[in-house]
Amino acid sequence: MEPVVGDEADWVSEALGLELASPTSAPLAQRLYQTLRRWVQEGRLVSGQRLPSSRRLARELSLGRNTVLAAIDQLIAEGFLESRPGAGTFVADVAFESVTSQSGETRPLADRTLVGEAVLSSRGVRLLEFCASLDDRFGAFAPGVPALDRFPHALWQRLLRRHLHATPTQWLDYQAQGGVPALREALCDYLRLSRSVRCRPDQVLILQGAQQGFELIARMLGDVGDRVWVEEPGYNGAQACFSAAGFEVEAVPVDAEGMSVERAPVGGASPRLIHVTPSHQYPSGVTMSLARRLALLEVAERHRAWIVEDDYDSEFRYGQRPIAALQGLVDGARVIYVGTFSKVLYPGLRLGYLVLPDPLVVPFRRANARLHREGQYPMQAALAEFIAQGHFSRHVRRMRDCYRRRQARLREALAPAVAHGLRLSEGQAGMHLVAWLDDPETERTLVARAAGQGVTLSPLSRYYLRRPGRPGLVLGYAGACEDEIERAGSWLAREWAAVIGDRSCR
C-alpha cells in the first residue's frame, strides 16, 4: 500500500490493528512503538506524513490513550516523529531513504546489514588471519587447556566469597595502583623464589590476562611500521596482537636451542620488540640455551629493543626444577616479563601480570588505568591469599604430577605409531607434545578426519608466519582425563598408520 502524505492516512489505524493482533507477550506500548519506528525506517511512513490523533488511534485500536501517548512520546523524543501544536503529530524529516549498494541493489538504509561488506579495518583483517575457529578449543588434544577437573573449586570459592563479602568501599571506585598490593607482594615472593625474577612489588602490574599485556606493550612501545621479531614457529596470540598494531612482524627461526638471533632478518630498521618463550618454547617445546639467552640480551641492548619474555607455563617441568627466567640473568635487562594464571589455574580467571623495568612502571600503570581500568580486586585479593597460604604451590605440584601421568598415557597410546616411525617431541615440560609429520598432506588429512570424530588436532603449520610451515600436530594432554587421552591417542595412532599405509601403496 502506498503511503499517503499530508492528511491523516486511514490505512495507518487498520494496518496497526493487524500488526498488533498477532499474539506476543510484549507490552502493547512497546509493540506500538516498535511498529511505528520500523515503518519510519522502512519508508512506509514518510517524512511529513501526518499520523492519526492519539484519541483516534486509541479508539480504533482498542487501546488506552496513555498506552498510545507513551509510544508516540517516545518516538518524538527519539526524533522519529514531531509534534506541531494545533496541527497534530507528523513523521519527522529523517533520512531513511533508499540507498544503492555497490552491487547496484537499491534497498532501504534500515535494511542494510554488515554481512559481506568491507567494514573491517586493515588491522582487523590482519588480526583475523591469526584467529582459528571458535571450536578449536574443544576436544581431547586442545592445546593450552589446563586440568579444570583438578582445580580446588571448593577452597577457591570459600576464599572468593570471603573477599567479596569484605570488599572495602574504596575498591568500588576507579583504581590506578597496579593491582591489589597483597597480590603484587605475593607474586614478587613467588617469582623471586621459583623463577629467579628480579622485582619489587611496585614493578608488578596486574592485568586481565597476558593478551592484554601484549596489547599494552604494543601501544606503549611501538609505532606503525616498527619491526618486531617473533619466534618461528611461535605463539599466534602475540603474532596477532603485533600484526594488528601495524607492526612489521618478522619471523626468527627456532632450533634445538631456541630462537636463533644469528638467523634474524638483516638490513633495514632495528627491531623494536622481540617476543620469546625461552623457558618452554611454544609450540616446539625446546628450552633456550644459556648461550642463546645471553646472545639475545646482547642483541636487545645493541638495538635498544625490548624483549617480551612470555613465561606462560614454566611451572610444569618434569624431572628437573623450572629454568630461571631470562629477566633475572643480568641487572637492568631490557626485558618485560609476562605471566598468566590461565594455564596454572584456569582461563576464566582472566588474570595475568607484567613485571616492568623501572622506566616503564609509571607510564604503563597510568596507560592501563586509562585504557582498560583496573578491576576484579576481590578476586585479586582471594588469589593473593591463595598464594600466601601455600595453596598455589601445592596446586602446581599436584598439576605437575597429573600432567606427567597424562603425558605418559598419551605416549603409551601413541606407542604403536612411534614404533613405526612417528616422531614425538621430548616433552620435558609443558602441557602438550608435538608429533612431527613428513608432509603437509598427512597433516591436512589427519586434521580433517579428526574433525569428523570430535577430536581437536591443531596443525603445527598454523604457527608459522612463512607458509608453508613445517607439518605436524600440537597435541594438548593437560585438559583431558586419562581415559579420554587413551581413546583419542589410540584413534590417532590407527589413523596415522592408515594414512601412511595409503601413501606407501600409491
Give the amino acid at 306: W
pLDDT, position 72 = 92
On the 0-12 / 13-18 / 19+ scale of CB atoms within 10 A, 25 is exposed
Helix (H, G, I), strand (E, B) or coil at 240: helix
Q: Are 424 and 434 in contact (CB under 8 A)?
A: yes
Please report the DSSP string for 267-283 in residue order.
SSSPEEEEEE--SS-TT
Element (H, E) at 116: none
Across 129-259, where does the E strand assignment appear? Answer: 204-207, 227-232, 248-255, 258-259
Please report the DSSP string for 334-402 in residue order.
SEEEEEESTTTT-GGG--EEEE--HHHHHHHHHHHHHHT----HHHHHHHHHHHHTTHHHHHHHHHHHH
Give the separation between CA 77 and CA 68, rounded to whole angstroms.
14
Q: Are strands 248-255 and 227-232 parallel, antiparallel or unpaired?
A: parallel
**How would you label 126-151 residue by residue, b for 16+ Cβ within 10 Å and e otherwise?**
bbeebeeeeeebebbbbbbbbbeeeb
Helix (H, G, I), strand (E, B) or coil at 157: helix
φ, ψ of residue 166 in degrees (nearest 5): -110, 25
pLDDT, position 4 = 43
Q: How far apart are the first and last CA of the chain?
A: 68
Give the separation between CA 205 and CA 189, rounded to whole angstroms.
15
Q: Are strands 352-355 and 204-207 parallel, antiparallel or unpaired?
A: antiparallel
pLDDT, position 320 = 73
Name the β-bridge partners of 248.
Answer: 227
Angle (nearest 5°) at CA 408 between 402 and 412: 145
CB atoms within 10 A of CB 389: 13
Give the separation between CA 227 and CA 236, rounded to whole angstroms.
17
| Whether the predicted model's global pTM rises above the 0.75 cut | yes
Peptide bond into 233 cis (omega under 30): yes
CB atoms within 10 A of CB 416: 15
pLDDT, position 7 = 47
Give the separation between CA 144 and CA 354, rounded to whole angstroms.
20
> If you compute the radius of gyration of the chain from its CA atoms, what whole number of angstroms results?
30
Closest of 10, 77, 87, 5 to residue 37, by C-alpha:
77
Which residues fall within 8 angstroms of residue 46, CB to CB, at 6 or more apart? 3, 5, 91
Q: What residue spans of 2-133 are helical by DSSP H?
A: 10-21, 28-42, 54-61, 65-78, 122-128
DSSP-derived letter for residue 50 is B
Length of the chain: 506
Give the separation between CA 483 and CA 394, rounded to whole angstroms.
25
pLDDT, position 480 = 92
Give the separation between CA 19 and CA 60, rounded to whole angstroms.
13
φ, ψ of residue 275 in degrees (nearest 5): -95, 125
pLDDT, position 318 = 86
φ, ψ of residue 306 in degrees (nearest 5): -105, 130
Q: Could you list the pLDDT tens digit for every one of the 506 residues in the chain?
A: 444 444 455 678 778 877 777 767 678 888 889 889 988 888 888 888 999 999 999 888 888 999 999 999 999 998 899 999 988 999 998 766 554 444 445 555 555 455 455 578 877 877 777 776 555 555 689 898 999 999 999 999 999 999 999 999 988 888 889 999 999 999 999 999 989 999 999 999 999 999 999 999 999 999 999 999 999 999 999 999 999 999 999 999 999 999 999 999 888 889 999 999 999 999 999 999 999 999 999 999 999 999 999 998 888 888 777 678 999 998 889 999 999 999 999 999 999 999 999 999 999 999 999 998 888 999 999 999 999 999 999 999 999 999 999 999 999 999 999 999 999 999 888 999 999 999 999 999 999 998 888 788 999 999 999 888 899 999 999 999 999 999 999 999 999 999 887 665 55
Give the separation between CA 457 and CA 474, rounded to whole angstroms.
7
CA distances from 130 to 88, 144, 231, 402, 476 (A): 57, 16, 15, 31, 19
Q: How many helices (H) and strands (E) does the chain have?
A: 15, 16
